[in-house]
Structure 1
């Protein structure tokens, strides 16, 4: 029986071929089991950006509320601290007067009254002086009562100042939290947009323009104005700054004239002008220009006057949107408003049908 030959090891070339084949097979298997994360669609990016901007605007209105509260508390704290200073000065004066009375009493009352009468060379003069001393004692009692009352008021003012300063500190922390939240949401929205190509960003802008034009066309069609519908269908991203606004009179005319003068200025969160505005900053300053002071925050502006039915809207009315009333605009007639939209956009004219309409208010 012949000797069996030991099989020779595979050559390096053959090993390379086998390794390559195995790698290719593994890649095929991997491709069959692994799934790449689908790239976000343009529509989903736009939806997320819009949601972040809306959440930011909600936080901005809360920020405005905390800011107004902080300003009021600061005024209150300053006034109370001034009262404390005045009270302390009054107490110091009373203590000085009490000290003088006590020293005088010690000098004159060091000897028993009966002994003083026996030793006095002029008893009638002593009795007159005693009567004066009784008056001084009564005056001293009144002075002591005044000092006690002043001290009690001073203690109350100090306690009120301490509580007000504590509230001011708490509101300051809430203000900082809201500010951080706003900046985070706006940064997230901007980051998502930055990841898009210039072409995709242009598409989003075009979609927003188309949505605005569609809303305008719908508003015009509802009013039965074919010419207005045709103009709306050709609407660009920026409003026509020269378009005539519906006529208004009196205070409404001044309010609308102010808002019209702001068209094209950028939205600025928590800003009340003159270079940028947020939604409630624009409406509050417009009313100020018309001689009427209204609240700073949109939710508070909802309570600044009687509510008005949509069918009875008049130029100058405040119009509100979304369930929590976090957006407000200024009605100018013909179903349109001037409003400050959101970060990255400019003050514009927009149909009130373009957003979830909640109601209107007519401040007196």
Structure 2
């Protein structure tokens, strides 16, 4: 996600050498991303295209702003897609477990019914009219058992078997109902997933059309900025813990990989896909969305960020990157860009989270 806004407050000076650097790294000049700077410079040099409207909506600067806005909206839709996809996967597991439980109960009920049937048949051949036989012919075991004591013909052993059978049938019915409910919810979530997918595709399609309408110099400037840098501007720093250091190392290895919405590595990423993948390499499971990662650990002040901390951006927590030290994050910015280093204060920060 790309923004041309600077954060409202620069971080305060502090004394710890392990903390994020002061305003020299997070200052206003550093907070403008390479993409924003390139876009602004090109906008100054590029005249409005022929036929531009008098309000300036057709100028290169305005088109750039609209592209950035569409990318922001596409990333928001991507995070909604990720949340729906996560829910679909969770429901798929629940449906499978409910169906397996129902199958086990069905097999158990079948065995018990066969045992009761064999017992009833043996007694019937001996000339006895037993309640077990009536049970097997009845569609309502509960009603039969309610009358069984009055018949005074059922032994304690048969009664225990019938009671166990009744409990098994009840469990089977509950498991079937549970599986049916989960299946219905799974269908609804798949429909939601499809709507979010369509929303992302609409936003990206509109952004591509606008990009194609930019002058060649402007497109070239955006492409250069999107590639970013493959090297940090400062020496590497240790993380707040061994697992944080391992996650930072993984995020650094991902620099240069393409952004792809809905992807969580190892060859392409969206923003939350990158951070969740990096921590997975350290053996830590994070939520799949930036909104979920906002609550995935302890919050710390922005100026006290350590390598491995998650920096969540925007009032809707719609973007996330990983702080890697020296006032920088590694993040997957937007479609068409690659995983890269950028100033940690490139956008308004919602929270810094330490998993």
Task: Note whether the superposition's TM-score is higher than 0.5.
Answer: yes
Alignment of 1:283-322 (within 5 A): 283-322=275-314
Aligned counterpart, 1:117: none
Larger radius of gyration: 1
Shift of the alpha carbon at 1:150? 0.3
* Alignment-derived partner of residue 129 in structure 1: none
Secondary structure of 1:87's counterpart equals helix
Cα distance in structure 2, aligned partners of 1:280 and 1:36: 38
CA contact (8 A) 1:287 1:294 kept: yes
Equivalent residues in 2 for 1:255-274, closer than 5 Å = 255-274=247-266
Match of 2:245 in 1: 253
1:344 paired residue among 313, 336, 340: 336
Q: Which runs of 5+ in 1 are unaligned?
A: 1-34, 112-133, 210-236
Q: Over the residues paired in the alignment, what is the CA RMSD in angstroms?
A: 2.2
Verify: 1:143 aligned to 2:169, yes or no: no
Partner residue in 2 for 1:277: 269
2:62 corresponding residue in structure 1: 44
User: What residue in structure 2 maps to residue 69 of structure 1?
Assistant: 87
SS at match of 2:311: strand
Secondary structure at the residue paired with 2:155? Answer: helix
After TM superposition, the structure 1 = structure 2 runs for residues 164-175 of structure 1, keeping only pairs within 5 Å, are: 164-175=182-193
SS at 1:354 equivalent: coil
Partners of 2:181 and 2:237 lie apart in 1 by 51
- Counterpart CA distance in 1 for 2:65 and 2:232 is 32
1:188 aligns with 2:171: no
- In structure 2, runs of 5+ residues without a counterpart are 1-50, 130-151
**Equivalent position of 2:141 in the other structure:** none
1:57 paired with 2:58, answer no
1:197-242 per-residue CA deviation (whole Å, 9 max, x = no partner) reads 3123235557x68xxxxxxxxxxxxxxxxxxxxxxxxxxx621427
Which structure features the higher share of helix residues? 1
Match of 2:231 among 223, 241, 245: 241
Q: In the alignment, which residue of structure 1 is the partner of 2:354?
A: 362
User: Matched residue pairs, number?
Assistant: 279
Distance 1:43 1:318 in 2: 31
Q: TM-score, normalised by structure 2?
A: 0.74
Contact 1:46 1:204 in 2 (8 A): no
Shift of 1:244: 5.1
